Amino acid sequence: MPVSMPTTPSVAKLTLWAEFSDPALESRYRCTMLAHDACQMQYAALLAAALFLLFGFADHAISGSGSDLIWLLAMRATVIVTCIVLAIAVHRQPHWAHRQLPINLACLVALSGLLLTIPLRPNGFSTQLTSTVVASMALYLLVPNRLPWTLLWNAYLITGFTAAVLLWVPAPPGVMTANLLLIGVVNLIGGITQLRLNRLQRQQYLSLQEERDTNLRLQAEIDERRQLERRLRHSASTDPLTGLFNRRRFFELADHELRRAQRHTTPLALFMIDIDHFKLLNDCHGHRIGDQALIAVAASCQAALRDTDIIGRYGGEEFVVALPDATLDTALSIAERLRQQISDLSLETDSTPLRLSVTVGVSLLHDNETTLDGALQRADQALYIGKARGRDQVVVAPPSSLTAIKA
């Protein structure tokens, strides 16, 4: 039967921030990106900690050894510790990379620390401008934050930078305008870049999911076809009523055992089994009881035979069995066990329980025979001898025909 499975649309609507408008689809996408974003968040946090540490070595040369240096070092230490703690937390709990609180808290501490360098080191304006531009680009490219938050933090950075420069680093209007234009262009490029990355990543996700869904559907179709093929093979080789091999499949397997017996000079025995008085049973009790008798006899035969023996329905109420590596004594023992087991059966009818019995003809393959026809004919002759003698017995093919392969 067809297999149903959830599918991902090949085209999906995106919001203004280049995210999926479907919350469930966006959630699945973010789950697939969790490992990547967690790794990126760790790198961004460690990189920020390293940069604040490196710039700390220049603080003494620029600010001297006064109180400003202490405040600078305290600020840098706070930022470094915050970034390292965030990196460790994301490493241990990757889902923190998609939690807004820890990411935004780290952004607040890092950006505030960056802005504090302006009043504490007012003579390092060019370095502070460069740091602001780099921080703005890092927010877009390195921090796996959602675009609205990235825009908010860049607005905080630009506003804080502008206010700090106006208060502590007086600059000509032309220079200030040029700096603001530079920061604005950086934000424009960064915003467009993140929008484009968001869109491309989600399109790639849709393509991969569509390919996955196609592969799953193909695999489901292949599995369904294989199951159908197995059912067809089973139907083509099995008697639908008894579940035994049908006549064609039995002879295919028996011929294989015949060739093996010839190669290895091993014995091969054959049974012909007939349910006694089966026509009378059908006439008296109906075909439904007759079918039940066939099913019960087939099950008892399978239980009495060895795992290596091959049994099939020959036609009507007759069954045929091939017994590889079975000497005459072994075959007789198995046949008698089979006959006794069926004699113990009691088939329930509308009136009284019905006793069943079978007659079994046994023969061995001769050493000069290349087909099963001779052995099968002898087993059939033995079967008719048993039926003439009164049925419910095991009969061996006539002695004149038993020059068989020795075990």
* Predicted pLDDT of residue 403: 40
| Whether the predicted pLDDT of 359 surpasses 90 | yes
> Regarding predicted confidence, which is higher, 309 or 348?
309
* Phi/psi at 260 (5° precision): -65, -40
pLDDT 10s digits, 32-44: 999 999 999 999 9
* Predicted pLDDT of residue 351: 72
Question: Would you kindly state where each structural domain of the chain is located, as residue ranges?
Answer: 23-214, 247-401
Task: Tell me how far CA of residue 40 lies from CA of 37, 76, 134, 141, 208, in angstroms.
Answer: 5, 22, 17, 10, 22
pTM for this model (two decimals): 0.59
What is the mean pLDDT of the segment spanning 41-51?
Answer: 92
Strand partners, 321: 271, 311
| Whether the predicted pLDDT of 9 surpasses 80 | no
| Whether the predicted pLDDT of 65 surpasses 80 | no
| Whether the predicted pLDDT of 329 surpasses 80 | yes
> Regarding predicted confidence, which is higher, 6 or 384?
384
What is the mean pLDDT of the segment spanning 70-82?
Answer: 90
Task: Tell me how far CA of residue 63 lies from CA of 51, 60, 76, 126, 171, in angstroms.
Answer: 18, 5, 14, 15, 20
> Regarding predicted confidence, which is higher, 373 or 72?
373
* Predicted pLDDT of residue 242: 93
* Predicted pLDDT of residue 402: 44
* Predicted pLDDT of residue 399: 63
Residues counted in the chain: 407
Mean model confidence pLDDT for the chain: 88
pLDDT 10s digits, 98-122: 999 999 999 999 999 999 888 887 7
| Whether the predicted pLDDT of 256 surpasses 90 | yes
| Whether the predicted pLDDT of 54 surpasses 90 | no
Distance CA 364, CA 112 (A): 99
Q: Domain spanning 247-401 has what CATH number?
A: 3.30.70.270
| Amino acid found at 326 | A
pLDDT 10s digits, 153-186: 999 999 999 998 888 887 778 888 888 899 999 9
Question: Which residues carry out catalysis?
Answer: 317
